[in-house]
Copies of this chain bind each other. A is one copy, B any other.
Amino acid sequence: MGAALDRLLEGVAMPHRIHDLAQPMSNGMASSPNHPGFRMALLRRHGDMVRDDGGSAANELIVTGGHVGTHVDALAHVSQHGLLHGDVDAAAAQVGGRFSRHGIDEMEPIVGRGVLLDVAARHGVAELPAGYGIGSADLEDAAASEGIEVRPGDVALVRSGWGAHFADAERFVGAASGVPGPNEEGARWLADRGIRATGADTIAYEQIPPRAGHRVLPVHRVLLVEGGIHIIEVMNLEGLAAAKAYEFLFVLAPLRIVGGTGSPVRPLAVVPE
């Protein structure tokens, strides 16, 4: 038993960098119109109520959603013809205002191997064009040029370069201009490799043509419903890409929201230096 722990503690004792793969959460940040906007307001500030001993506490009220900011989708998020992953009846699983099956609390936290497929770099561009569909050849070429193999149980992160626009909400959400993302073929390529989760640096993890809205979501169907593969959206992959860190220890710990369809998260990549 000691051997595994020794390995882990030895690993984190060596020089390494923890890459933060989350975008910052703040009032007015980019958000899909289908979801609540993020709001944080201080209920109490220091000085509002100072105790006799000179101490004072500040705290806040937070409004968010399960799919706001950097977040992960539970399998309960999407159904097809009334069924969730594994032919679970979606209507029957909605019990008492939450999901009794496939809620985000059923997702196993992840501490395991992650890989980066930097499709933008492979194309030699800062970012893929708006509306571009990332297919299997894009993913295969990226992996090959990085010398990386995607293995069963991995978390595969797909970079379009779009994360650099997060602060420009209109462009990032791309209602008018569109957003690049994996297409159905690309999603199947990932699913065929047996990954457990995949993420991207865009709002929807879908190819969104200009003015198309979020009306048809084939990739969500392929991954969540058919594959039982979790999707992480709105990631910040710029640091990993700059460091050319294509393989890492990936950590993801969704909030334990009982019966929720997703959770804001702070994904991490541990990269030796």
A residues lining the B interface (CB < 8 Å): 1-12, 14-16, 18, 20, 22-28, 33-37, 39-49, 51-67, 69-70, 76-82, 84, 90-91, 94-99, 105, 108-109, 111-113, 215-218, 220-221, 247-249, 251-262, 264-268, 270-273
Chain B's nearest CB lies how many Å from the CB of A154?
Answer: 11
Selected contact of A63 from candidates B18, B33, B63, B80, CB within 8 Å? B63
Q: A8-B8, A59-B77 are in contact. Are A47 and B82 (CB under 8 A)?
A: yes
Chain B's nearest CB lies how many Å from the CB of A255?
Answer: 5
Across the interface, which residues of B come within 8 angstroms of A251, CB to CB?
Answer: 111, 251, 253, 268
Query: Are the CB atoms of A24 and B258 closer together than 8 Å?
Result: yes
Distance, CA A20 to CA B256, complexed state (A): 9
Query: Are the CB atoms of A61 and B63 closer together than 8 Å?
Result: yes
Query: Are the CB atoms of A257 and B59 closer together than 8 Å?
Result: no
Across the interface, which residues of B come within 8 angstroms of A265, CB to CB?
Answer: 253, 255
| Chain B residue nearest to A81 in the complex (CB) | B54
Distance, CA A57 to CA B32, complexed state (A): 13
Query: Are the CB atoms of A57 and B217 closer together than 8 Å?
Result: yes
What are 27 residue pairs bridging A and B, where the CB atoms are less than 8 Å apart in the complex? A2-B272, A6-B11, A7-B7, A12-B112, A12-B249, A20-B109, A24-B105, A24-B256, A25-B257, A27-B43, A36-B43, A39-B61, A41-B61, A42-B97, A45-B94, A46-B79, A46-B84, A47-B82, A47-B91, A55-B217, A55-B221, A58-B78, A58-B94, A60-B260, A63-B63, A109-B266, A254-B266
Query: Are the CB atoms of A23 and B256 closer together than 8 Å?
Result: yes
Quickly give the copy total for this chain.
4
| Chain B residue nearest to A7 in the complex (CB) | B11
Interface centre among A43, A95, A99, A264 (most CB of B within 10 A): A43
Selected contact of A58 from candidates B70, B76, B218, B255, CB within 8 Å? B76
Query: Are the CB atoms of B80 and A58 closer together than 8 Å?
Result: no
Interface centre among A42, A56, A95, A259 (most CB of B within 10 A): A42
Query: Are the CB atoms of A53 and B253 closer together than 8 Å?
Result: no
Interface centre among A2, A23, A36, A78 (most CB of B within 10 A): A36
Interface centre among A49, A90, A97 (most CB of B within 10 A): A97
Query: Are the CB atoms of A257 and B7 closer together than 8 Å?
Result: no
Distance, CA A248 to CA B4, complexed state (A): 10
Selected contact of A270 from candidates B8, B23, B113, B262, CB within 8 Å? B8
